[in-house]
Structure 1
């Protein structure tokens, strides 16, 4: 089951996106998030067997309301499922701090999508307590996706880049 902090992070992501409805189901637990764009309301439901409704604390401007549960026949899994690619390596943040894609605003980013990296390639800087820590790729491959924006706060262990390994 998801922890309350993980649910809050999902709510924040949905609040900052154009997604109107999000559903997640795992091991008998179902979460449904609905966003009403007119009133900035996020509705949250956490369902387990038997049905339990949990209200999640207010996050920023969003208000949280329980959602009515209707028992329906199980739905076949979607044709498209997210499958984690074993050839993709996640470069994660080794600390809490601020992500910077370049050493200064005037210079180009260390890496961009499609760039080749090796184990010693510097991919970004994470600033923590006024110390600028260079983060290395630690693998050889190609940058497939940059998962954070320049200047964004990052958490310990948060994925920063996806690298297709050779």
Structure 2
């Protein structure tokens, strides 16, 4: 199984290359990426769960999908915060601050993190992907709410690096 870091790196490499379509299959996973007008689409179907059912009715999806984009616009990074690192979502999915509804959150404002510290989960196609901080520092802002739909590349946290 590929680690989320490896998937992120793969997305970056494909995005920077002139390749328009890419497919990688391994034991227990399959990743297919296509670039359409500067947009990279990532699909990761699970071999163990080949039947996919829609989560929400089609008319409701555009309303939910547009909501995170509005929040990004409403929360610009201030000039004084230029030295802050953004932890971004590596995929489209649902943001969760804790491993289960009754568990404590992974991090909160003021938490000290290391590069391998899990800061949240992004659920995509019933897969719960642990997102790591990638840098050493302190969480200064959480930019999304628990249970919110997030987009690929959307900032989730701001970290003051050491």
TM-score by length of 1: 0.52
**Structure number with bigger Rg:** 1
TM-aligned CA distance change 1:96 to 1:164, over 3 Å? same
Q: 1:108 aligns with which of 80, 104, 111?
A: 104
If asked which structure has higher relative contact order (CA below 8 Å, sep 6+), I would say 2
- Deviating above 3 A after TM superposition, structure 1's stretches of 4 or more consecutive aligned residues are 8-13
Unaligned runs of 5+ in 2: 1-65
1:85 deviation in Å?
2.3
Displacement after TM superposition at 1:158 (Å): 0.1
Post-superposition offset of 1:99: 0.1
Higher percent of residues as helix: 2
Structure 1: runs of 5+ lacking an equivalent:
1-7, 18-80
TM-score by length of 2: 0.53
Aligned twin of 1:128: 124
> 1:116-155, CA deviations, whole angstroms, 9 ceiling, x for partnerless residues?
0000000000000000000000000000000000000000
How many angstroms apart in 1 are the aligned matches of 2:147 and 2:68?
A: 20
Quote the offset at 1:112 in angstroms.
Answer: 0.4
**1:95 aligned counterpart, secondary structure:** coil
